[in-house]
A and B are shown apart, each in its own frame.
Chain A
Amino acid sequence: MMFLNVIWHSLLNRKGTVLLALISVAISIFVLLGVEHIRHQAKESFNKTVSGVDLVVGARTGQLNLLLYAVFRMGNATNNIAWESYRELAADPKVAWTIPISLGDSHRGFRVVGTTQDYFTHFRFGQNTPLSFSQGQPFSQLFDVVIGADLAKKLGYRLNDEIILAHGLGQASFSLHDDHPFKVVGILRPTGTPVDQALYVSLQGMEAIHLNWRNGVKIPARKTSLDALAERDLTPKSITAFLVGLKSKMTTFHVQRQINTYSKEPLLAILPGIALTELWQMMGVMENTLRLISLLVLFSSLLGLSVMLLSSLRERRREIALFRAIGASPFFVFMIIQTEALLITLTGVLVAMLALTMSIQFAQSFLVENYGVFIDSFAFNSETLGILSLILAGTLLLGLIPALSAYRMSLHYGLATRS
């Protein structure tokens, strides 16, 4: 107790420098833990976006490209799939269900997904959780729209509100589908995935708003009335991609090969889980860079800590000599310096974890809304434990420099002031 008391008062005596060292250590630990946590969570967020989908099928492109635009709505499709090809492949007896996806329109920066009601029955996220509605129900009429949770929150839409879709993906598009407004009939519960950030309309609805369009431009004065629309054949000519669920996983590779060698159209079928693994393998380079940087930041701040302790030794020469005079062993002096270093780092860890918890709390909704990445609050796990022991080991190792110096000093200098 006396030992800690001595250290406490000694630190208090130098609170200015100690505080600065503490802040620098805390910031570096914050960076290290934050990077690890976000890395982990971003991965989790991606992984939980698609669950239970055996294959994702689109026009032939890179497999990551397909995964990103079909599932995560990032980037754009290179090409579409003919409706006939989709029908033919979907009718395969090995296929249990399919979800067609048609992209290309937007509403105030949010993407519009043309699909069928199967989206709401078969799509799964997280641990095989189906989509559910917080209000309303799936679309049934031609101009019904279901909106994601973020959209309802951010744009303040409620049931029965009218929405005008824009052609293309621009934030401020001038070509609006204002001849046919859509009515909100359902709002999905939040999922923490890109599902929250989209509007869902029927494929027929999507087709209908494009009827009077040629080459991406609306033909004026040709407004189709609802009655006229009812008579038209609104089967789409093409879709962007489709998700496949199989009756038996056993056939996954067979069906994949069958689609990849489909003779009528160049198609690509990917296994989403495998495409994701590939994505992580690529991201590994970036992850390791971030890790290395945060480790270097930690190293430099721990080094700063030991420099601070080392330079303080000079002014503490008399303090150390006094310890010796009252009978403390050189080892005691060594331990004092090491404990000081450890104490500062441990406080740094606590401060960093507190700051991390608070900033995640604060940034959570911002990240979900702007980046579609759901970051869970900071939790202690085995990985964190590993990082913490690394930090402590680093502290003890770098603490050796001032501690050994103090040890030597305590052997050489007495109470008498020299110089």
Chain B
Amino acid sequence: MLNKPLLMGWVWILTASSAPVLSSGNPVLQGAHVHGEAVLNVVQEGTTVYIEFESPAINLVGFEHAPINPEQKAALSNARQILAATDRLFQFGATQCLLESKEINVPYPGQPAHNHPHRHEHESAQEAHHEHADFQANYTFQCEQASDLRAISTTLFSLFPGIQTIKAQWISQGRQGSTSLTPSDATLRLN
């Protein structure tokens, strides 16, 4: 054991060189707020499938401040309606899934501009005064043959063109994994 493992050496070289990239790339852990990027967490256990979605407001409605005109108010409620229409949002392949419950949190529920549900630190001094806001939604589905569930595809990209990538993390059959979804590959494979 005098010489520390070779493999370890590789790992360290790689971690050292890419650690900064990595830490900024994980939205959930760091509570990061990256425009164009959304987060999807999926858990399957038994017949239950739980899906969590979180995205900066700018991806969904195009602005990140309290609504200042009727159009922006309409945009917020429109986004809420899209997020509520689960049968359009997610497809479970051959598996039949029924929505059991859902919870959608839209930013700026009341009118006061400084009542944001989520605030995030931002490193950029330029944006230090700029408030961030997130949409957050979670859904619980009951699926027949949930163990056969192999993939979940989403129409989030076409419904919200502001989303460029979705960082997806999943837990299924006792396994964990993560992947990046893009408009050209919007299917989360659970394997």
Give chain A interface residues in 36-54, CB to chain B under 8 Å. 42, 51-52
Beyond A250-B45, A370-B5, whether A52 also contacts B22 by CB under 8 A is no
Is A63 an interface residue when CB atoms closer than 8 A count as contact? yes
> Would you call A271 an interface residue if the criterion is a C-beta within 8 Å of the partner chain's C-beta atoms?
yes
Does the CB pair A128–B174 fall under 8 Å? yes
Is B41 an interface position by the 8 A CB rule? yes
Given contacts A68-B11, A250-B50, A373-B7, contact A260 B174 (CB under 8 A): no
Check if B177 sits within 8 Å of A277, measured CB to CB. Answer: yes
Interface centre among B8, B10, B45 (most CB of A within 10 A): B8
Once bound together, how far apart are the Cα atoms of A270 and B175, in whole Å?
14
CB–CB A370/B1 < 8 A: yes
- Name B23-37 residues within 8 Å CB distance of A: 23, 26, 28-29, 31
Say whether B22 contacts A372, CB under 8 Å: no
B14 in contact with A274 (CB, 8 Å)? no
For the complex, is A153 an interface residue (Cβ under 8 Å from B)?
no
- Asked if B68 lies at the interface with its beta carbon under 8 angstroms from chain A, I say no
CB neighbours of B31 from chain A (8 A): 260-261
Which A residues are in CB contact (< 8 Å) with B12?
74-75
**Does B178 count as interface, using CB distance less than 8 angstroms?**
yes
Majority SS at the chain A contact face: helix
Fill in one digit per residue for A270-310: 1 if any B CB lies within 8 Å of its CB, else 0: 11111001110011011000000000000000000000000
CA distance A109 to B177 in the complex (A): 33
Known: A109-B1, A274-B176, A286-B14. A256 touches B28 (CB 8 A): yes
CB pair A62 B48 closer than 8 Å: no
A96 to chain B, nearest CB (A): 13
Residue of B nearest to A150 (CB): B1
- Give chain B residues whose Cβ lies under 8 Å from the Cβ of A75: 8, 12
Known A260-B29, A260-B31: A64·B22 in contact at CB below 8 Å:
yes
Any A CB within 8 A of the CB of B78: no
Asked if A249 lies at the interface with its beta carbon under 8 angstroms from chain B, I say yes
Query: Please, which residue of chain B has its CB at the minimum distance from the CB of A111?
Result: B1
Binding site for B on A (CB under 8 A): 42, 51-52, 62-65, 68, 74-75, 108-110, 128, 171, 248-250, 252-253, 256-257, 260-261, 268, 270-274, 277-279, 282-283, 285-286, 370-373
| Other A-B pairs beyond A270-B29, A271-B176, 8, CB < 8 Å | A51-B174, A109-B2, A128-B174, A248-B45, A249-B45, A256-B28, A274-B176, A371-B5
19 contacting pairs across A/B (C-beta < 8 A)? A51-B174, A62-B19, A63-B23, A63-B29, A74-B12, A109-B2, A249-B43, A252-B43, A252-B171, A253-B52, A256-B28, A273-B177, A274-B176, A277-B177, A278-B22, A278-B26, A282-B15, A370-B3, A373-B5
